[in-house]
Amino acid sequence: MNQTIKHRVKTHKLSDLSEQQINTLLRRTESDIEQFVEQVKPIVAAVKERGDQALADFAQQFDKAPITADQIQVSEQEFDQAFAQLDSELIDTLKYSVDNVRRFHEAQMPEEMWLKEIRPGAFAGDRYTPIEAVACYIPRGKGSFPSVAIMTTVPAVVAGVPTAAIITPPGPDGTVDAATLVVARLVGIHKVYKCGGAQGVAAVAYGTETVPKCDKIVGPGSPFVVAAKKLVADVLDPGTPAGPSEAIVLADETANPKLAALDLLIEAEHGPDSSAFLVTHNEQLATEAADAIQQYWGEMSELRVDFSSTVLGGDSGGIVLTGTFEEAVQFCNDYAAEHLLILSKDPFKHLGKIKNAGEILLGEYTPISIANFVLGPNAVLPTSMAAKTASPLSVFDFMKSCSIGYVTEQGYREMAPHTHRFATYEGFDAHANAVSHLRDEAFDSEK
């Protein structure tokens, strides 16, 4: 660290770009999932046919983990060892994060049931119940992600899911990441299984001797995981896709360029397939932020510099310089970023202008990393423009609602004639008969 590093931060001046070039900036790094689907087909088939033994074989093949079929589920001893392995300060931080995320999702919980009188004597509403069994996928490819464990398991437990399980790849020593196991115990998850990749998805889709069959899976994963989810979507709800990390830092003329640089690097360091833009109309701020990035690269590891410089030096990142702040806002709404940070001395004055984002963070003391780990709102967010129609992971992803209706005789007398006309117009005889004189005659027969 503290090395002198000189990489190019690309500036995209919006007024100089063609429509095609702007569309290139808006486009995310994408994989051809179909090629991965073909590769995972035999893996999924093997797990469906051979269960735990296939999981053990694939753990040895793909994860280089020396585990056997009877070691797929994490034991109580392994949970205890995880607590012993971590220092107390990190455990305190995990507890702090779990507590904040739990508080947020408890506040998010809907009423178990509500009914509203739509017309006199006619009541309608919703009732919420948890999904019976949900698997939380915790990736491990580029590192360990106890934060993902928190963000996926806490809302599952808050929502009351009876069977909430974690599936995650084992390490080369055959163990699960210690912090992930600590999180599981803190949250109250006792079912943790050493099966990642396509084989893990197949395990919860079909069930094995050890791994429970689940109704839904949540959490981010590799293209192989995404492909497997697509392949088993007829038996397992694959949840909302979560792709590579992406962020926009929207800065007005009052923003601190050094803060803009620090915050821009957060999501850019995830990997070369990430996307990260500083969007501003202020040329001086853009120049000073680019200079500051050079300084902060000197404080990062070679791997993270390599990742972030690849992102910020190409078309999936860098600085977007607009003519006006209104154009900057429009670019943000067109982009529909996973993470959007508004840097301004008065960020709330811009909040109402943002229509599309997975999350909106406000001000100089709300860096994306705080939201990723400890703030409370869920950090599993829609990517690849899905924020135009989709929402962050929440308790609602672990529940389903069913409509409730109750009509008294008073309400029936008002609604029956309207229903009869509808049914007659659409040509449904039984629909019409159910609200005709025949129903009155049926009531009379009870007297």
Q: How many helices (H) and strands (E) does the chain have?
A: 18, 13
Angle between helices 19-26 and 325-335 (to 10 degrees): 60
CB neighbours of 264 closer than 8 A, spacing ≥ 6? 247, 249, 276, 277, 278, 289, 293, 312
Amino acid 31: pLDDT: 65
Task: Find tokens 């009423």 and name the residue.
Answer: 111
Amino acid 34: pLDDT: 86
Give residue-wise pLDDT tens across range 4-43: 567 999 999 999 999 999 999 999 876 678 889 999 999 9
- Cβ proximity of 122 and 414 under 8 Å: yes
Q: Give kind and range of the element (H or E) at residue 319.
A: strand 317-321
In this prediction, the residues of the chain whose per-residue pLDDT falls under 70 are 1-5, 30-31, 142-143
Give 50-114 as a DSSP string.
HTHHHHHHHHHHHS-----GGGSBPPHHHHHHHHHHS-HHHHHHHHHHHHHHHHHHHHHPPPSEE
Q: What is the CA radius of gyration of the chain?
A: 26
Give the angle subtended at the CA of 71 by the CAs of 67 and 76, to the nearest 5°: 130
State how far the Cα of 245 lies from the Cα of 21, in Å rounded to an integer. 21
Catalytic residue among 338, 420, 426, 431: 338
Amino acid 145: pLDDT: 92
CB neighbours of 228 closer than 8 A, spacing ≥ 6? 40, 43, 44, 197, 198, 201, 202
Please confirm, yes or no, whether 253 is among the known catalytic residues. no
Amino acid 5: pLDDT: 65
Please give the domain boundaries of the chain with CATH numbers for all domains: 11-29+244-376 (3.40.50.1980), 33-112+129-231 (3.40.50.1980), 408-444 (no CATH)
Query: pTM for the complete prediction?
Result: 0.93
Amino acid 242: pLDDT: 77
Q: By three-state DSSP, how is residue 227 classified?
A: helix
Two tokens at 79? Answer: 């949970």
Catalytic residue among 105, 339, 350, 359: 339
Distances in Å between the Cα of 223 and the Cα atoms of 123, 201, 269 are 46, 12, 19
Amino acid 284: pLDDT: 98
Please confirm, yes or no, whether 437 is among the known catalytic residues. no
Q: Bin 134: left if φ > 0, else alpha if -120 < ψ < 50, else beta.
A: beta
| Cα end-to-end distance, the chain, whole Å | 89
Amino acid 1: pLDDT: 54
State how far the Cα of 269 lies from the Cα of 144, in Å rounded to an integer. 15
